Amino acid sequence: MVSRPGRGVLLLAVCLALVSGLAVSGLLTVSVTLSSSGSVKAINVEVFWDAGCTQVVSSVDWGTPGPGDSVSTTVYVRNSGTAPMTLNMSCSGWSPVEAGSYLSLSWDREGAVLAAGEVVPAVLTLSVSDLVTGITDFSFDIVIQGTG
């Protein structure tokens, strides 16, 4: 058997290419891009995109978050009533239903009291679990309510 110079180097290069390809392939199979939307329902309060309360929020487009991502958006909540209101938020109507197991929505105004006529900014944050699988798009309803 005749040994050719460079044959071992070529074999090493092929092995490295295969290993690198497997590593890249492994990363790509873990990546998930989620398309999303959420309709906004306001009860006893109004929700706007701007502090001047001219652009009503009817839905939120969360973009394309991936596993482990958190996406935030700011809305403005107005108490258009004549008495103070306590704010709370909930989510319903997850589609697909499993999305509610991997996604969570929070905000920085839970339990806040809003005086009559007061407008406050509220930051909504959607968090995606690192373990999300099998979901490529989702939607849900965001319910912002004032009680009092």
| CATH number (domain holding residue 53) | 2.60.40
Q: Do 127 and 138 share a domain, yes or no? A: yes
For residue 35, the model assigns a pLDDT of 52
C-alpha 110/C-alpha 59 separation (Å) is: 19
Q: Do 46 and 84 share a domain, yes or no? A: yes
CB of 36 closer than 8 Å to CB of 139: yes
128's tokens? 């995606």
What Å distances lie between residue 90 and 21, 51, 85, 120, 141, CA to CA?
44, 22, 16, 18, 8
45's tokens? 């309060």
- Residue scoring higher pLDDT (24 or 95): 95
Angle, CA 56 vertex, CA 145 and CA 76 arms, to 5°: 60
pLDDT reading at 7 higher than 90: no
Q: Do 125 and 70 share a domain, yes or no? A: yes
**Residues linked to residue 35 through DSSP beta bridges, in sequence order:** 137
Q: Do 25 and 55 share a domain, yes or no? A: no
Mean of the pLDDT values across residues 21-39?
Answer: 45
Q: Do 70 and 11 share a domain, yes or no? A: no
Nearby residues of 134 by Cβ (< 8 Å), 6 or more positions away: 98
Q: Do 142 and 81 share a domain, yes or no? A: yes
Q: Do 20 and 40 share a domain, yes or no? A: no
| Tens of pLDDT, residues 51-74 | 999 999 999 999 989 999 999 999
**Global pTM exceeds 0.85:** no
What's the structural domain count of the chain? 2
| Tens of pLDDT, residues 101-145 | 999 999 999 999 999 999 999 999 999 999 998 888 899 999 999
pLDDT reading at 146 higher than 50: yes
The whole-chain average pLDDT of the chain stands at 80
Angle, CA 115 vertex, CA 113 and CA 120 arms, to 5°: 75
Query: Residue 34: pLDDT band by 50, 70, 90 thresholds?
Result: low
Query: Could you list the residue range(s) of the whole structural domain that residue 65 is in?
Result: 33-147
For residue 62, the model assigns a pLDDT of 92
